[in-house]
Every structure is written in structure tokens, then in C-alpha cells.
Amino acid sequence: MRILEAQGLIGGYGAMDILKGVDLFAEAGRLGVVVGPNGAGKSTALKAVLGMLELRAGSITFEGESLGGLSTSARIARGIGAVPQNDNIFQGMTVLENLEMGGYLVESPLAPRIERMFAIFPPLAEKRRQPAGELSGGQRQMVAMARALMAEPRLLLLDEPTAGLSPAFRADIFARIRTITEEGVAVLMVEQNAREALAIADTGFVLAAGANRFTGSGAELVADPDVRAAFLGG
């Protein structure tokens, strides 16, 4: 089931269009990966879904309803979670407080959700009272994802969750992202490490110069000679 459908997105900052016609979708329980060279508009496309960017054209529907005109916080309240690439944790606050902030809009008690996060990200459990800014890079990324998951979003947007991590940590983060989709969450992830990310993706979107170049299943794209030649380094 496609819970997010974004079509013909055109827009950017000021007079410059960064997106020149981008289509994206996300399916419940599936992992979508957005790849492409620097400046292709990958992160910008995620920002458009979050309403952090002025769109000149295009439509975005979430669970059948248009998101047009809604503020970022209203979109969050609808069930979209997001992890930015940078500044994605509250550094001066403890791990526990970070999770509480993730559940800011949740009306039910937070304790069960927090325990669930510690089950998904066990290393965080023992660091719960430490300021998040003092954790290692991989653990910070876990805090960032756990914060976003606290609201139990039905769609999770991840912007380069493995940036700056070693290959071992990268594999670990990818495995946890698969765990998240298995619980029925639709995940849309922007990733620099295109080959590895497409290998685990259900759907891949290859963007270049602000527009879709290829769209297909992850396996198809990895196998496609054109994609390999142009975007995966042969």
C-alpha cells in the first residue's frame, strides 16, 4: 500500500529550482532508497515532503490526503517522522530526554515506547542518563532514529543515516532500518552509499539534476547496466 505519493515536485530556495520534477512514493513495511550524485536534490525532496520548502508545483498526498499547505509540525502530527542528516539529536539533553521529545505529541504514557526503543537499540539502554552529545557517532545515529520512532510514525524519512560512519556501523544501522520496516513502517531513505543501500532496498529512486532518472526495485537497479555505469561506479 502506497501511503506517500509525491508527484511532479518543482521548487527550491528563492528563485532557484532545485527540484525540477521529482516523483517519490513510499509503501508500508517497505524500504525506499533515494540515491544520486551530490546536488541531485535528494535531501531537498525529503524537505519538500516535510513542508520545509516552498513548492512551485507538484502534489504530495499522505494516506490519501493532500499535505499541501500544512506546516511541518502538522505533518509530523499526521504520522510522518524524520531524521535530518545533521543536528539530529538534542546534544545537551540525555538519551531519555531525547526520546521524550520524540514522543512530545504522544498522549499515552511514554514508558512502554521508550522500552521498545531500548529493545530495538540495546546500546542506548545503559546510556539513558547520559547527554546524547557525549555518545559515539553510531550511538548518536541510534538516538536520532529512536527519537523519530517514538511518535510511532507510519512514514519515516531518513537523510543519510550512515554519513560519517564506518562500514561496520553502516551495516548495523541498515540492519536496524530493516527491523523498522518489518514492523510495518514505510521508510524513505536518502543514502550516499548507493550500491549498499540499493542492495537492501525494496524500491530505488535514482535522481540526477533535480529529476528522476531511474525508478525500480532495488535489485533491478543494482543489476541495470545503465545505472551501474552512471551512478554506481561501473
Partner 1 sequence: MLAFVNFYLIPGVIVGSIYALGAVGVSLIFAILRFAHFAHGDLMTLGAYLALSLVAAAGLAPFLALPFAMAGAIVVALVVHRLFYAPLANRPTIVLLIASFGVALMLRSAIQLLWGVQVETYVQGIQRPLVFFDDLRIAERHIYIVLATVVAIVALHVFLTATRAGKAMRAVADQPELAELSGIDRKAVVRQVWVIGGGLAAMAGVFLGIDGELDPNMGWDLLLPVFAAALLGGIGRPYGAIAGGYVIGLAQELATYPWIGAEPLLSPGYKSAVAFALMVGLLLWRPQGLLRGREGT
Closest CA to 153 of 69, 51, 83: 83
Binding site for partner 1 (CB under 8 A): 50, 72-73, 76-77, 82, 84, 87-93, 97, 100-102, 104-105, 131, 133, 147-148, 151
Task: Read off φ and ψ for residue 90, nearest 5 degrees.
Answer: -90, 100
What is the CB neighbour count within 10 angstroms for residue 104?
Answer: 12
Nearer to partner 1, 95 or 222 (CB): 95
Q: What stretches of 18-166 show up as alpha helix (H) in DSSP?
A: 42-50, 72-78, 95-102, 111-120, 122-125, 137-149
Closest CA to 177 of 209, 132, 133, 144: 144
Q: How far is the CB of 84 from partner 1 (least distance, A)?
A: 7
Q: How far is the CB of 187 from partner 1 (least distance, A)?
A: 16
Number of H helices, E strands in the chain: 10, 10
Nearer to partner 1, 24 or 144 (CB): 144
Q: How far is the CB of 159 from partner 1 (least distance, A)?
A: 11
Q: How far does the chain reach from its first CA to its final CA, in angstroms? A: 33
In DSSP terms, 155 is beta-bridged to 80, 186
Q: How far is the CB of 85 from partner 1 (least distance, A)?
A: 12
Specify the 3-state DSSP secondary structure of 79: coil
Nearer to partner 1, 107 or 112 (CB): 107
Nearer to partner 1, 129 or 233 (CB): 129
Query: What whole-number distance in Å separates Cα of residue 25 and Cα of residue 104?
Result: 27
Q: How far is the CB of 148 from partner 1 (least distance, A)?
A: 8
Query: What whole-number distance in Å separates Cα of residue 88 and Cα of residue 91?
Result: 9
Q: How far is the CB of 147 from partner 1 (least distance, A)?
A: 7
Nearer to partner 1, 38 or 87 (CB): 87
Nearer to partner 1, 30 or 47 (CB): 47
